[in-house]
A and B are shown apart, each in its own frame.
Chain A
Amino acid sequence: MRALTQLYRVVIALLVRELKTRFGKYRLGFIWAFLEPMLLMSVFIGIRGIMAGSIRGGIERFIYHIEYPLFLASGLLPFFLFRHSVTQLMNTITANRGLFAYQPVKPIDAFLARWFLEGLIFIVLWIFIFGALYKLNFTFEIKNPLGLIAMYFLFYLFSFGIGLIFSIAVELFDELRNIISIIMLLLFFLSGIFFSILQIPERYRIFLLWNPVLHFIELCRENMFYLYEIEDCSYLYVIIATLVSLFLGLSLYKLKIHEVISER
């Protein structure tokens, strides 16, 4: 019990400091968190529009019964949750190294604080984006709200594991930073954010279906929209991916964290 209140206190203190440094002075971090998805959505809608001959064509296009802006938002937002969690976790050790001098502050507290913050930002962003779309008359009824929340949470857990793995990995081998940013870029294009796996010819799907992030995103959509059924994506696969990432992340943490924070 004491350990829990201690953990809570330290995580809250770290969260406050994180808010101060990220959003405090310039507020740019906060604005960017909203601007980035809106910008990307406009770009993709614009591209669709050019292909269709008019901007209206971009907006009014349907992908498997889903209006394109809704389709985009339903893929982009969880992907941002993933990418931001992973990159924030990846830099946790470097950003907080000075604070590990204080014995009650354990590295895992700093990881948790950053992870919570990304979760909070996701919730605010989700309400903001879908609220704005609703105002613009892109309305829909969530098919399975509980299932959707469960999928988001699973994806969030998966991101925590991957973030832990990457953070230890880049501290041990700094060169990995470049490779990871390339992986993130590839995942952006390969994870079904602006296309559906259903649009891919069946014999090529196997080349995309190794990617658990695509499964997460498509399954989020499946729980979100009526008439959107994905048979290629598997709940079992995402559950296993989450367990493996958490197991690997926590093991690496346990085994290597002392070595990592000892390096200067």
Chain B
Amino acid sequence: MIELRGLTKFYKTKNGRHYVYRNVNVIFPEGKNIGVIGPNGAGKSTLLRLIGKIEYPNEGKIITNKRISFPVGFQGGFQGSLTGRELAKFVMNVYLTDEEECKEKIKWIYEFTELGRYFDMPVKTYSTGMRARLAFGISMALDFDYYLLDEVTAVGDAEFKRKSHHILQEKLTKGANIILASHSLELVKKFCDLIVIPYKGDIILFTNFKEVEEFYQKVCFEGPIFRENGDRT
């Protein structure tokens, strides 16, 4: 279970505070996979970063007793001057105690990500797709209760996509859950039981895909969301 209690998050801009979330109260129930959808700038990534404790709310808190992964996405979580192998080693050393286990996991990551010789080159030389693959591989090498995924499942060629969906499915059958942020309703439908849509500073929770579709059509494609989030003339 993950509970957001009285959560408020804003960013300081030149024109004052821009609120992403305003006093949000939500409970993500035990054992459910959660899809977060919405257009760019709606606050999907912010939600993941808050749950992953990379960012902290301005008010309120996030309560959970689960092991939560770092958000896996196209950006962040990287120290550009390290090589892929060094980064993998660093993360394994930080999360795991057993030296042998670390070595095995690094080997697994090397094989899974298919980065080849790039694995021993600095991460800053990677393309965005390669970065996402590395981040995904590192995350999947570790055991968490919740995996936070930001758009990454659509990375790479068809073969890599198949492989990553396969490993995700495997994690899910082992009892782990995911929180998946995406543009794509299709992808979310495949993996998730609950849908969450950030809307006007609040978070709306759906259990019914039909309702989601109606709401998503109405809200996102008619496009008032940006105006109502931003200036209020």
Query: Which residues of A come within 8 Å of B, CB atoms?
Result: 5, 9-10, 12-13, 16-17, 20-21, 96, 98-105, 258-259, 261-262
Q: Does B221 contact A (CB under 8 A)?
A: no
> Once the chains bind, are A17 and B94 in contact (CB under 8 Å)?
no
> Once the chains bind, are B78 and A98 in contact (CB under 8 Å)?
yes
4 further interface pairs, Cβ-Cβ under 8 Å (given A5-B97, A101-B77) = A9-B94, A17-B82, A17-B86, A102-B77
> Once the chains bind, are A102 and B79 in contact (CB under 8 Å)?
no
Instruction: Tell which of A12, A13, A261 has the most Cβ of chain B within 10 Å.
Output: A13
- The minimal Cβ–Cβ distance linking A173 to chain B, given in whole angstroms, is 13
Question: Which B residues lie within 8 Å of A103 (CB)?
Answer: 52-53, 68, 70
- The minimal Cβ–Cβ distance linking A5 to chain B, given in whole angstroms, is 8
Query: Which residues of B come within 8 Å of A, CB atoms?
Result: 52-56, 68, 70-71, 76-82, 86, 90-91, 93-95, 97
Please count the residue pairs between chain A and chain B whose beta carbons lie under 8 angstroms apart in the complex: 55
A109 nearest in chain B by CB position = B94
- The minimal Cβ–Cβ distance linking A114 to chain B, given in whole angstroms, is 14
B54 nearest in chain A by CB position = A101
Question: Which B residues lie within 8 Å of A9 (CB)?
Answer: 93-94, 97
A103 nearest in chain B by CB position = B53
> Once the chains bind, are A17 and B70 in contact (CB under 8 Å)?
no
Question: Given A13-B94, A258-B56, are A98 and B86 neighbors across the interface (CB < 8 Å)?
Answer: no
> Once the chains bind, are B56 and A262 in contact (CB under 8 Å)?
yes
Instruction: Tell which of A5, A98, A259 has the most Cβ of chain B within 10 Å.
Output: A98
Question: Which B residues lie within 8 Å of A262 (CB)?
Answer: 55-56
Docked complex Cα distance between A5 and B98 (Å) = 13
> Once the chains bind, are A101 and B71 in contact (CB under 8 Å)?
yes
- The minimal Cβ–Cβ distance linking B47 to chain A, given in whole angstroms, is 14
> Once the chains bind, are A99 and B90 in contact (CB under 8 Å)?
yes
Interface of A is mostly: helix
Docked complex Cα distance between A104 and B55 (Å) = 14
- The minimal Cβ–Cβ distance linking A263 to chain B, given in whole angstroms, is 8
> Once the chains bind, are B90 and A98 in contact (CB under 8 Å)?
no
Docked complex Cα distance between A96 and B76 (Å) = 11
Question: Which A residues lie within 8 Å of B81 (CB)?
Answer: 21
> Once the chains bind, are A17 and B90 in contact (CB under 8 Å)?
yes
> Once the chains bind, are A100 and B54 in contact (CB under 8 Å)?
yes
> Once the chains bind, are B80 and A20 in contact (CB under 8 Å)?
no
Docked complex Cα distance between A226 and B90 (Å) = 48
Question: Which A residues lie within 8 Å of B94 (CB)?
Answer: 9-10, 13, 102, 104-105
Which of B55, B80, B86, B91 makes the CB contact (< 8 A) with A102? Answer: B91
- The minimal Cβ–Cβ distance linking A103 to chain B, given in whole angstroms, is 6
> Once the chains bind, are A101 and B52 in contact (CB under 8 Å)?
yes
Docked complex Cα distance between A10 and B94 (Å) = 5
- The minimal Cβ–Cβ distance linking A226 to chain B, given in whole angstroms, is 48
Docked complex Cα distance between A139 and B70 (Å) = 56
- Cross-chain pairs A/B with CB under 8 angstroms, 19 sampled: A13-B93, A13-B94, A16-B93, A21-B79, A21-B82, A98-B76, A98-B80, A99-B77, A99-B79, A101-B52, A101-B76, A102-B91, A102-B95, A103-B53, A103-B68, A104-B94, A104-B95, A261-B55, A261-B56
Docked complex Cα distance between A262 and B56 (Å) = 6
> Once the chains bind, are B70 and A20 in contact (CB under 8 Å)?
no
Docked complex Cα distance between A98 and B138 (Å) = 14
Question: Which B residues lie within 8 Å of A258 (CB)?
Answer: 56
Docked complex Cα distance between A72 and B7 (Å) = 56
